[in-house]
């Protein structure tokens, strides 16, 4: 029990340090890197990496250094993660291509910031670290492990609107999305590449076409997004059933393990 409490303490303290660094220095770091590279997307990714150093260091301290990638779920199949995400997001690409025009203002910086950086670092820090480590290294169950990160993840996207109805909608979509990504991460044997590519490809579909300026979207965009979500859930359940593997998230692991 002492080791479990120690791991949880390290996770919470290091995430607090990350939050402070991100809040105080992210913009300055990005500006400094931009002055050196004249490339906003790369600068954004480098600033994200630097502010995440406390999370990287604490992951190394919780387990053996040789288990670093395993503890974050990055030792699993990249190809499997990409193919699963590609199949699941097909409804968004096919539906958006019919219902919406191609985005003529798409830029490389948008791809690097809104797709690559958002998909990789948000899943690494929120799913791999803030959710995955408590769920795997402590006695906390799925709900207790995912709750704080999902709430924070939802709050991060509130900048997209000032209207109350939109704020509530954006929060709920991103909050529930965080829970979905955490669940699929667990059920695909802690393969972090699954939620990473799901996040990236879903964001890319949103950027490639003139869908909406916020994460909320309209009726048609959400129809195709919910079809993608349904595929994620159904194909994951079929995969587990075909392999004869019980669901990792169940009654016994919901709150405490």
Give me the residue spans of the domains in the chain. Answer: 69-253
Q: Determine the pLDDT at residue 157.
A: 72
Q: How far is Cα 240 from Cα 204, in angstroms, rounded to an integer?
A: 28
Tell me the torsion sign for CA atoms 51, 126, 71, 254: positive
The answer to whether the CB of 124 falls within 8 A of the CB of 196 is yes
Separation CA 87–CA 188 (nearest Å): 15
Q: How many CA atoms lie within 13 A of 237 on its CB side?
A: 7
Question: pTM score, two decimals?
Answer: 0.95
The number of beta carbons lying within 10 Å of the beta carbon of residue 25 is 14
Nearest to 73 by CA among 28, 39, 120, 114: 120
Beta bridge partners of 184: none
What are the φ/ψ torsions at residue 194 (nearest 5 degrees)?
Answer: -65, -60
Q: Give the phi and the psi of residue 214 in degrees, each rounded to 5.
A: -120, 175
pLDDT in tens, the chain (257 residues): 556 678 889 999 999 999 999 999 999 999 999 999 999 999 999 999 999 999 999 999 987 878 999 999 999 999 999 999 999 999 999 999 999 999 999 999 999 999 999 999 999 999 999 999 999 999 899 999 999 889 888 887 777 766 778 888 888 888 999 999 999 999 999 999 999 999 999 999 999 999 987 778 889 999 999 999 999 999 999 999 999 999 999 999 999 88
Q: What integer pLDDT is reported at residue 2 of this predicted model?
A: 57
Q: Which two tokens stand for residue 82?
A: 């990409």
DSSP string, 78-95: HHHHHHHHHHHHHHHHHH
Question: What are the two backbone dihedrals, phi and then psi, of residue 73, each rounded to the nearest 5 degrees?
Answer: 80, 20
Query: What pLDDT, on the 0 to 100 scale, is given for residue 191?
Result: 98
Phi, psi of 217 (to 5 degrees): 75, 175
pLDDT of res. 125: 97
């Amino acid at each position: 029990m002492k080791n479990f409490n120690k791991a949880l303490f390290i996770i919470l303290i290091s995430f607090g340090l990350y939050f402070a660094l991100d809040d105080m220095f992210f913009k300055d770091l990005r500006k400094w890197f931009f002055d050196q590279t004249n490339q906003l997307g790369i600068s954004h990714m480098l600033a994200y990496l630097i502010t995440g150093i406390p999370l990287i260091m604490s992951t190394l301290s919780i387990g053996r250094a040789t288990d670093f990638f395993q503890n974050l779920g990055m030792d699993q199949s990249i190809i499997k993660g990409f193919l699963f995400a590609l199949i699941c997001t097909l409804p968004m690409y096919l539906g958006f291509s019919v219902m919406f025009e191609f985005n003529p203002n798409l830029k490389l910086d948008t791809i690097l910031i809104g797709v690559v950086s958002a998909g990789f670092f948000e899943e690494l820090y929120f799913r791999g670290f803030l959710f995955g480590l408590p769920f795997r290294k402590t006695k906390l169950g799925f709900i207790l492990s995912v709750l704080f990160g999902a709430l924070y993840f939802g709050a991060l996207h509130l900048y997209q609107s000032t209207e109350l109805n939109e704020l509530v909608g954006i929060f709920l979509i991103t909050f529930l999305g965080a829970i979905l990504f955490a669940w699929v991460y667990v059920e695909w044997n802690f393969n972090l590449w699954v939620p990473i590519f799901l996040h990236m490809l879903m964001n890319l579909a949103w950027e490639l076409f003139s869908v909406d300026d916020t994460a909320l979207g309209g009726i048609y965009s959400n129809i195709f997004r919910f079809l993608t979500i349904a595929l994620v859930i159904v194909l994951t359940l079929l995969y587990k059933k075909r392999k004869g593997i019980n669901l990792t998230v169940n009654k016994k692991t919901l709150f405490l393990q």
